[in-house]
C-alpha cells in the first residue's frame, strides 16, 4: 500500500534510496530478539545520516521558494549542520551554520567537514531563545547582502522533515514486501528534535502497522521530548491531511540515558559502541546511536520480555563523523586494551 499524498517532492539529488536493510543476528542474540537495522548512515551524502532524508524535502522546498542560501543551526558537532553543508554544496547553494557553543574548540569531526564543504560557520549561545534571535539576525544580514536565505529549523524537524520519515516507512515497507517479511514489532530510534520519531509513528499508522516506535531520548527528559514529537506530528497532520486522524497519544519515549549531559561519552556508552563494532562490523556514534543502543540493552536487561521473541528494527540514524571528535576517549581505551594484553 502506498501513502496517498498531495505530497512534497524531494530533490532526488541528496540521498540514495532505499537505504540498506540488514540483519544483526549476533546483537539480536544478546537482546533475545530478531534484530534488523535500517542503515541511514549509508544514505550516501558526505557520511550520511537521518538528516539527509529530511534535507531532501527541505532543500527542494528552499529551491522552490527561490532561495540561494541555506541557514541552519545546531551544536558544534551537529550532524544536521554537516549534512546541510553537504546538501548546499551538492545543489549549488550557499550555506551558513550558526553553531551553539563557546566558539571553536578542536576542528575535527563534523565541524571540520563543514569547513571542508565550504559552509560559513558562525558562533552563538547555546540558549535556544537567544539562538532563535541570532538566527533571524543572520537571515536579515544575508538578505541585506542580496541573498535569499531559507532558514532550516534545528534538526530539520518541521512538517517537511517529519514527512521525510513518513516516506521512510513506505520505503521500508517496500523492502519488507520484497523479502516477504511482515512489519517489525518495534522500531527503535535515537530521538532529539522529534521529527524522526514523529514521521516513523505517522508512517506506521498510515500503513496500518501495529509497530510500536521507541524513541530513546539522547538529551531531554521524556515530557519535553514528547512535546517536541507531538508538535512535529501535529504540524505534519495539518500540512498533509492524508495523515490526519491517526492517534498521536501513544508515544513511547524512554529517557533512561539522559542523566548524562548531551554528547557526554560515558564508559558504558563507549563499551556498547565497541560491542556493536566487534559483533557486527558497524560503527555507531557516541552522541545518538551509541546512546540509543546502550539504552536498548539496558531496557532489555530491566525487562527481558520487552524484546524477547520480537522482530525489532534499529534505525541507524548516522552520526559517524562525530566519532573522530571523541578520538581521545577512544584512544585511551585502545591504550587500556593494549596494556591489558601486555
Ligand atoms: C539528529 C539525529 C538524531 C535525532 O533525530 P531527530 O529527528 O532530531 O529526533 C538521531 N541520530 C543522529 C545521528 C542524528 O544526527
- In the reported structure, the alpha carbon of residue 338 is separated from the centroid of ligand 1 by a whole-number distance in angstroms of 33
Residue with cell 508538535: 231
- In the reported structure, the alpha carbon of residue 225 is separated from the centroid of ligand 1 by a whole-number distance in angstroms of 12
> Measured from the CA of 285, which atom of ligand 1 is nearest?
13
Ligand 1, atom 1: closest residue by C-alpha: 155
> Measured from the CA of 191, which atom of ligand 1 is nearest?
9
| Cβ within 8 Å of residue 110, ≥6 positions away | 76, 77, 78, 79, 81, 82, 321, 322, 325
Q: What's phi and psi for 281, nearest 5 deg?
A: 65, 30
Whether 53 contacts 156, CB under 8 Å: no
pLDDT of residue 1: 45
- What angle, rounded to 10 degrees, do the helices at 79-91 and 109-116 form? 20
Q: How far apart are CA 78 and CA 317, in angstroms?
A: 13
pLDDT of residue 327: 86
Q: Among 51, 37, 36, 45, which Cα is nearest to 16's?
A: 45
Q: How far apart are CA 117 and CA 81, in angstroms?
A: 11
The one-character DSSP state at 183 is P
Task: Report the first-to-last Cα separation within the chain, whole angstroms.
Answer: 58
Ligand 1, atom 8: closest residue by C-alpha: 193
Q: How far apart are CA 108 and CA 322, in angstroms?
A: 8
- In the reported structure, the alpha carbon of residue 339 is separated from the centroid of ligand 1 by a whole-number distance in angstroms of 36
Whether residue 325 lies in the annotated active site: no
Q: What is the pTM of this model?
A: 0.95
The series of mean pLDDT values per 10 residues for the chain, 342 residues long, is: 70 97 97 97 98 98 98 97 98 97 84 98 92 96 98 98 98 98 98 98 95 97 97 96 77 93 89 93 96 96 96 98 88 64 49
Q: Ligand 1 pocket check: which of 42, 47, 51, 164 to mutate, most ligand atoms within 8 Å of Cβ?
A: 51
Q: Ligand 1 pocket check: which of 319, 323, 326 to mutate, most ligand atoms within 8 Å of Cβ?
A: 319
Query: Which three cell numbers mark 268?
Result: 558504558
Q: Is the peptide bond before 18 cis (omega within 30 degrees of 0)?
A: yes
Q: Ligand 1 pocket check: which of 40, 49, 283 to mutate, most ligand atoms within 8 Å of Cβ?
A: 49
CB atoms within 10 A of CB 150: 22
Please state whether beta strands 120-124 and 149-151 pair in parallel, antiparallel, or not at all (unpaired).
Answer: unpaired
Q: Which residue segments constitute the domains of the chain, with CATH numbers given?
A: 21-49+157-341 (3.40.50.1100), 51-155 (3.40.50.1100)
Whether 51 contacts 2, CB under 8 Å: no
- Residues touching ligand 1 (Cβ under 6 Å) are 49-51, 79-80, 155, 157, 190-197, 285, 288-289, 317-319
| Secondary structure of 188-249 as H, E, C letters | EEEECCCHHHHHHHHHHHHCCCCCEEEEEECCCCHHHHHHHHHHHHHHHHHHCHHHCCCCCC
Cross-strand pairs, 151 = 71
Largest CA distance in the chain: 64
- In the reported structure, the alpha carbon of residue 155 is separated from the centroid of ligand 1 by a whole-number distance in angstroms of 7
Catalytic annotation, pick one of 78, 192, 193, 272: 78
Beta strands in 63-180 (DSSP E): 69-74, 94-100, 120-124, 149-151
- In the reported structure, the alpha carbon of residue 287 is separated from the centroid of ligand 1 by a whole-number distance in angstroms of 9
Annotate 104-132 with DSSP letters as a single string: -----HHHHHHHHTT-EEEEE-S-HHHHH
- In the reported structure, the alpha carbon of residue 340 is separated from the centroid of ligand 1 by a whole-number distance in angstroms of 35
Amino acid at each position: 500500500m502506498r501513502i496517498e499524498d498531495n505530497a512534497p517532492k524531494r530533490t532526488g539529488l541528496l540521498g540514495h534510496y532505499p537505504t540498506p536493510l540488514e540483519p544483526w543476528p549476533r546483537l539480536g542474540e544478546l537482546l533475545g530478539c530478531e534484530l534488523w537495522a535500517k542503515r541511514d548512515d549509508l544514505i550516501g551524502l558526505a557520511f550520511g545520516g537521518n538528516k539527509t532524508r529530511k534535507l531532501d524535502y527541505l532543500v527542494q522546498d528552499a529551491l522552490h521558494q527561490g532561495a540561494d542560501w541555506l541557514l541552519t543551526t545546531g551544536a558544534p558537532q551537529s550532524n544536521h549542520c554537516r549534512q546541510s553543508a553537504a546538501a548546499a554544496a551538492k545543489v549549488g547553494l550557499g550555506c551558513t551554520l550558526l553553531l551553539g557553543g563557546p566558539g571553536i574548540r578542536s576542528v575535527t569531526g563534523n565541524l571540520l567537514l563543514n569547513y571542508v564543504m565550504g559552509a560559513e560557520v558562525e558562533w552563538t549561545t547555546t540558549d535556544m531563545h537567544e539562538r532563535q534571535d541570532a538566527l533571524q539576525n543572520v537571515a536579515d544580514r544575508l538578505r541585506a547582502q542580496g541573498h535569499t536565505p531559507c532558514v532550516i529549523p534545528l534538526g530539520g524537524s518541521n512538517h517537511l522533515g517529519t514527512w521525510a520519515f513518513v516516506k521512510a516507512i513506505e520505503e521500508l515497507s517496500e523492502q519488507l514486501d520484497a523479502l516477504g517479511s511482515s512489519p517489525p514489532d518495534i522500531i527503535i530510534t535515537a530521538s532529539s528534535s522529534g521529527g524522526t520519531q514523529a514521521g516513523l509513528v505517522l508512517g506506521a499508522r498510515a500503513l496500518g502497522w501495529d509497530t510500536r516506535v521507541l524513541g530513546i531520548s539522547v538529551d531531554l527528559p521524556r515530557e519535553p521530548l514528547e512535546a517536541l514529537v507531538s508538535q512535529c506530528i501535529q504540524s505534519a497532520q495539518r500540512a498533509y491531511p492524508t495523515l490526519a486522524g491517526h492517534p498521536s497519544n501513544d508515544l513511547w519515549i524512554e529517557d533512561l540515558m539522559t542523566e548524562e549531559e548531551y554528547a557526554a561519552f560515558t564508559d558504558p556508552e563507549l563499551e556498547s559502541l565497541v560491542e556493536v563494532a566487534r559483533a557486527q562490523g558497524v560503527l555507531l556514534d557516541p552522541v545518538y546511536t551509541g546512546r540509543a543502543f546502550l539504552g536498548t540493552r539496558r531496557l532489555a536487561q530491566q525487562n527481558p520480555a520487552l524484546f524477547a521473541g520480537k522482530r525489532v528494527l534499529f534505525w541507524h540514524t548516522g552520526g559517524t563523523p562525530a566519532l573522530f571528535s571523541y578520538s581521545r576517549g577512544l584512544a585511551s581505551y585502545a591504550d587500556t586494551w593494549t596494556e591489558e594484553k601486555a
